[in-house]
Structure 1
Amino acid sequence: MLAISAVFLVFTVIIFTAADFANKVDPNICLTPDCIKEAARILRTIDESVSPCDDFYQFSCGKWIESTLIPEHKSSQSTFDELQDELNRKLRVLIEESSQNSEKRSFVNKLKDLYITYIEAKGDQPLLDLLDRFGGWPVLKSSHWNESQFNWFESYIKLRQIGVVDNMLITIFVDIDDKNNSRRVLYLDQPSLGLFDRDLLLKGMNDTSVSAYFDLMVKSAVLLGAQKDTAHRQMTEVLEFETLLANYSLAKEERRNMSLLYNKMTTEELDQIAPNYSLAKEERRNMSLLYNKMTTEELDQIAPNTDWMSLINNFTTKPIAKHEEVVVIDTKFIKSLDLILPQTKKRTLANYMMWRIVFSKISALGAKWRNLETEYEAKVMGKQRQEPRWEQCVSIVQSVVGIGLSNLYINRYFNNDNKQMTLDIVKNIKTEFEGILHEIDWMEKNTLTHALDKLQNMELKVGFPSELMDEKKINNYYIDLHINRDDYFQNRIKAYKWLSDYQFSQLREINNKNDWRKYAEVTEVNAYYFPQENAMVIPAGILQGIFYNKNRPKY
């Protein structure tokens, strides 16, 4: 009897103690399972042995850094990367399921066929056939290469018409006008270089990345049949030419001043900018000399060695007239390019252009090429092995049929309630920020008025556009994209051509800020501000994991 009484007494004490504890718990503290899991995750990442006042980075990330390993096929790892990896695994499932289910939807067939052909990429012959369409790669043909048949201008146009990388000498593209975001205009810019960092090229062969890039050039030529000593000699000239392009290109920090990068001119002006003009490094760094606003009729006048009207009209899907405005970014580069092209040996130019074709297609070739690429990336990026083939395939599908893949992702994995909840959170942040702006005393009245106006008119693009659920719209978007289930190499060329055609078709088009296609690729773990349209973009891909959980508190 005493034992029973004792048990009852203990039980009563526990009940009243628990009730008393519950009454004392701060109602603002979340104790749901999701909140407890999140608290545990935070404790696993922070380093409590360090004071946040002494080293906030170590305090907030210390344990995560200690416990996280960089995968061998990557050069870095972050919480963004972890979520992107998880999302990519979901995309793989969606694509491979679609491949098995014989979907009738056109865009689904295209993305699954592209995925399958990439898995089964072929060998060297498609690349050799492509090079032969330009007269061949001189380093392979040696004395049999016909110099008289080569013309860089005609070859550059052919690059665009076929659908091969076409930005190795100058970049031509259509985008929103930085000075008038209601329209799209044609831009001319410096080239995209083979080695990703222009400053690295300028360090020369003593730099590990440059020597690795040169080694890749030589080994690629040898793999296709060149003699090693011939490849070494001719690729040295190619590297010197690309370094010259890098030297005349702007550094990243110089390109950040967008007001100075904007130069309108006519095609006639461009033909007049180059004669007897060379730039010292001091002049190239002087921003007042580098950038000038001009009318479009000046384009042909400032660079007369190049037929800019013909070049541009062979790139665009809509011919332009001499009086039409184009935006030239960095006119000094145009001047320099117009001078050096006529002075460069045809063999060097052809070797450079063919090398850039080869470089752009390495991942589309067989295993020996992928091994060569892995060797290069290990030296330049620190990757120890190549990423799994399926990851490469998913990445390719995203880059080409990203809108279609986003449709599959939203239908399977995204809860539509998350869209409205996130929108409410962002609206609350806007309201609070507006209050902060009204309280500050250091901003001039005119500036404050503009800031408030910009805040009030900011567009919020959250989750996904509703049109993404309309399969007819998606099929219509991809109607001119043709994918062959048996030939990935040609698929890659067709895809590049289709993307380029679509971009150039937007020339002169009114920029519709509500064009759903601009915000329909939502399978990326990222959020960003789009300054040209004053829009905050939070795609569905980031609304997961540590960034979003509808069951966590909305403090």
Structure 2
Amino acid sequence: PCVSSPAPPPSVPRPCVSSPDPPLVYLDPVSPHLGRGLCLSEACVTVASQMVEAMDRGADPCSDFYQFACGGWMRKNPLPDGRSRWSTFNSIWEQNQALLKHLLGETGRGRRGEGDGERETGRGSRGEGDGRIEELGAQPLVDLIAKIGGWNMTGPWEKENFMEVLKAVSGPYRAQPFFSVGVNADPKNSNSNVIQLDQSGLFLPSRDYYLNRTANEKVLVAYLDYMVELGRLLGGERSSTQILMQQILDFETALANITVPQDQRRDEEKIYHKVTISELQVLAPSVEWLDFLSSSLSPLELNATEPVVLYAREYLQQVSELINRTDRSLLNNYMMWTLVQKSVASLDQRFENAQDKLLESLYGTKKSCTPRWQTCIGNTDDTLGFALGALFVKATFDKHSKEIAEEMINEIRSAFKEALDRLNWMDDHTRQAAKDKVQRQTGRQTVGQTGNRLTVFQYDVSDDSFFQNMLNFYNFSSRVMADQLRKTPNKDQWSMTPPTVNAYYMPTKNGIVFPAGILQAPFYAQDHPKALNFGGIGVVMGHELTHAFDDQGESTSCPVCTS
């Protein structure tokens, strides 16, 4: 797709033409092509016009095809304020958000439909009660910190409370100091769920920000300023807060030193380690793992033989050693800091202003440039995305659209299998295994929305406290995670909500998912010519299908599919 950030032209083989401005689209009603398949419907004329407008026909396609194809679009779509990147994906998401705003407004005025989830989607987002948020200020977070045991950044704290604080911030409040905890399908046995542990704990987007201090000095200074400002807003004194926050930043740098770079983690065979809780206790003894995991997955009962998949074995061993040699006050400060980070977006404008300064340093953007209603829609999609998605799908995606999209997937799958027959470097055994894996995807694509009715959970919504609603959501997420462990993996469970403008491949299920959010114009429309749909959403479909054979998908579900 066209993007308005600088990008090199794609390396796409194409024949050079002698004319710098070839007549690619004919719209003349007396064209000699009439009667030979030329489409002059309203939809065809509209999309043809859009394609011409997106081009820069003054550019030479042989020297800069990207400029030739997308130059007009880039000229008409400069980077909006507050954005570091802009593309068709972004514009579709904004269209989807505008529709969701309208649908929520209709629901809030009392409309009730047949779909699951239309009852609570209009309540409890930050979009309502901004005055109440400003009135409460920092107090909701101050009260939460006191409830957990205090923070010596702002007042007294309970010194012998390491495990209790770790359980509190990691469990019901879903912060992730030191490591992350999840429940997902076991890649080695996709018919069962398993507890999974991985490295975590860094606030900045990459370990490189901490380790390459010369290149990232501006960001590190802005991050420390942000930390100090938040500490002061929560009641800390400037000079002591500066010292304590510098210690936390140094501790995060120590975590960055033992964090494995992402480019060394792509081969799941190398990073997958399955152990029992008792074996994990020997590996990383600084944490009481049975106590911690039992708390995180309450009310489930665990014992020392419970299997756990580690995706960062060496990291967990090293972080245990780091915890053992670090002063307890610093550990407490760091754990509370991870909770503070997670809570900032739920507090008043002063906290948002502090965050804006950091975002500007990191990305050159400001969150405050985003209209408040879009922030509200994003919050609602994050927390009640499938209930919200029921409204979205009902409004945008009918049965016929689903059938067309599924038929396109089947045609692309057939073309892929035919292409395998033309690969002379692939032996017959591997070729057949690849075909079998593709064939097993039949019936494992989900288009539009998940086929299941929404699961009903108790989810408390406050009418006047956005902060409390977010705490309720984190607690709700913990209960949902615990609920999955003893169940067979739900192959219809999605990791994206229906309004999302994206798609993905599920390695442990060998399935592909296309939310209704991406099945929108210009990627896809019922009345578009078939070629345009294949050139739009068809590219995405083929991309997701081939993930089954990349360096992460090849080893799951079908171990002999590639050689």
- TM-score, normalising length from structure 1? 0.84
SS of corresponding position for 2:269:
coil
Please show how residues 267-346 of structure 1 align to structure 2 within 5 Å: 267-269=277-279, 299-317=280-298, 318-346=300-328
Partner of residue 107, structure 2: 98
1:432 aligns with 2:412: no
2:124–2:464 contact (8 Å) kept in structure 1: no
2:461 is matched by which residue type in structure 1? I
- Residue 224 of structure 1: aligned partner: 234
| Match in the other structure for 1:463 | 448
Tell me, in whole angstroms, the C-alpha distance in 2 between the residues paired with 1:440 and 1:412.
44
- Distance in 1 separating the partners of 2:490 and 2:237: 54
Supply the distance in 2 between the matched residues of 1:93 and 1:465 (Cα, whole angstroms). 23
Distance across 1 between alignment mates of 2:309 and 2:143: 36
How far apart, in 1, do the equivalents of 2:314 and 2:33 lie?
71
Q: Could you tell which deviates more after superposition, 103-112 or 409-418? A: 103-112
1:127 equivalent to 2:141? Answer yes
Identity percentage of aligned residues: 28
Q: d(CA) in 2 for partners of 1:360 and 1:38?
A: 43
Q: Map 1:516-555; keep pairs closer than 5 Å.
A: 517-518=493-494, 521-555=497-531
- Tell whether the 8 Å contact from 2:169 to 2:175 is kept in structure 1 after alignment: yes
1:398 aligned to which of 381, 385, 390: 381
**2:503 is aligned with 1:503:** no
Question: Structure 1's 385 and 534: CA in aligned 2 closer, same or farther, altered over 3 A?
Answer: closer
Q: Residues 352 and 81 from structure 1, CA distance in 2 versus in 1: closer, same or farther, beyond 3 angstroms?
A: same
Q: Encode CA deviations 1:374-395: one digit per residue, 9 max, x unaligned.
A: 1221111211451111111111
Deviation at residue 46 of structure 1 after TM alignment: 2.1
1:82-106, Cα deviation, whole Å (9 max, x unpaired):
0000100110111122112275998
Return the alpha-carbon distance in structure 2 between the equivalents of residues 46 and 214 of structure 1: 45
Q: Which stretch shows the higher mean deviation, 43-52 or 150-159?
A: 43-52
Q: Is the 8 A contact 1:463 1:538 kept in 2?
A: yes
Aligned residue type for 2:175: D
- Distance in 1 (CA, whole Å) between partners of 2:201 and 2:28 is 68
Q: Distance in 2 between matches of 1:118 and 1:39?
A: 42
Please report how far the alpha carbon of residue 519 of structure 1 lies from its aligned counterpart in structure 2 after TM superposition: 7.0
Match of 1:165 among 171, 174, 195: 174
- Contact kept, 8 Å, 1:119 with 1:390, in 2: the verdict is no
2:404 alignment counterpart: 421
State the partner residue of 1:290: none
The superposition leaves residues 407-465 of structure 1 with CA deviations (integer Å, 9 ceiling, x where unpaired) of: 11122232321111111112111112211112221112221111100111112211223
Candidates 79, 84, 93, aligned match of 1:75: 84
- Cα distance 1:413–1:502, how it changes in 2: closer, same or farther (>3 A)? same
Give the whole-Å Cα distance in 1 for the aligned partners of 2:458 and 2:404.
Answer: 37
The answer to whether the Cα contact below 8 Å between 2:169 and 2:336 also exists between their aligned partners in 1 is: no
**Do 2:118 and 2:390's aligned partners in 1 also have CA atoms closer than 8 Å?**
no
Letter in structure 1 aligned against 2:468: Q
Q: 2:258 aligns with which of 223, 230, 248?
A: 248
Equivalent-residue separation in structure 1 for 2:342 and 2:259 (angstroms): 21
Counterpart AA for 2:151? W
**Would the aligned equivalents of 2:149 and 2:158 in 1 still touch at CA under 8 Å?**
no
Q: Rate the CA distance shift 1:302–1:480 in 2: closer, same or farther, 3 A.
A: same
| Correspondence list, 1:382-397, <5 A | 382-386=364-368, 387-397=370-380
Stretches (4+) displaced over 4 A:
18-24, 102-106, 116-119
Whichever of the two has the greater Rg, that structure is: 1
Q: Name structure 1 gaps, 5 residues minimum.
A: 1-17, 270-298, 468-472
CA distance in 1, matches of 2:189, 2:434: 19
- Counterpart among 450, 460, 465 of residue 482 in structure 1: 460
Q: Would you say the 8 A contact 1:305–1:339 is kept in 2? A: yes
User: What are the Cα deviations for residues 155-205 of structure 1, in whole angstroms up to 9, with x where unaligned?
Assistant: 1112245x2133121111101111121111111111142112222122237
Equivalent position SS for 1:333: helix
Residue identity opposite 1:341 in structure 2: I
Gap change, CA 1:462 and 1:54, over 3 Å in 2: same
Relative to structure 2, which stretch is displaced further, 528-537 or 337-346? 528-537
What code does the residue aligned with 1:529 have? Y
Could you say which structure has the higher helix fraction? 1
d(CA) in 2 for partners of 1:454 and 1:372? 50
| Gap change, CA 1:435 and 1:26, over 3 Å in 2 | farther
> For residues 25-52 of structure 1, what are the alpha-carbon distances to aligned partners after superposition, in whole Å with 9 as ceiling and x for unaligned?
2623322221121111112222223333
CA distance in 1, matches of 2:180, 2:490: 24
**2:469 alignment counterpart:** 491
User: Do the aligned partners of 2:79 and 2:86 also contact (CA within 8 Å) in 1?
Assistant: yes
Deviations 1:281-335 (A, max 9, x none): xxxxxxxxxxxxxxxxxx2222233221111111113222222321011211111
The answer to whether the Cα contact below 8 Å between 2:174 and 2:478 also exists between their aligned partners in 1 is: no
**Matching of residues 147-166 of structure 1 within 5 Å:** 148=159, 150-161=160-171, 163-166=172-175
Check 1:200–1:81 CA distance in 2 against 1; reply closer, same or farther (3 A cut).
same
Alignment coverage as a number of residue pairs: 495
SS for the counterpart of 2:98 is helix
CA shift in 2, pair 1:104/1:35, >3 Å: closer
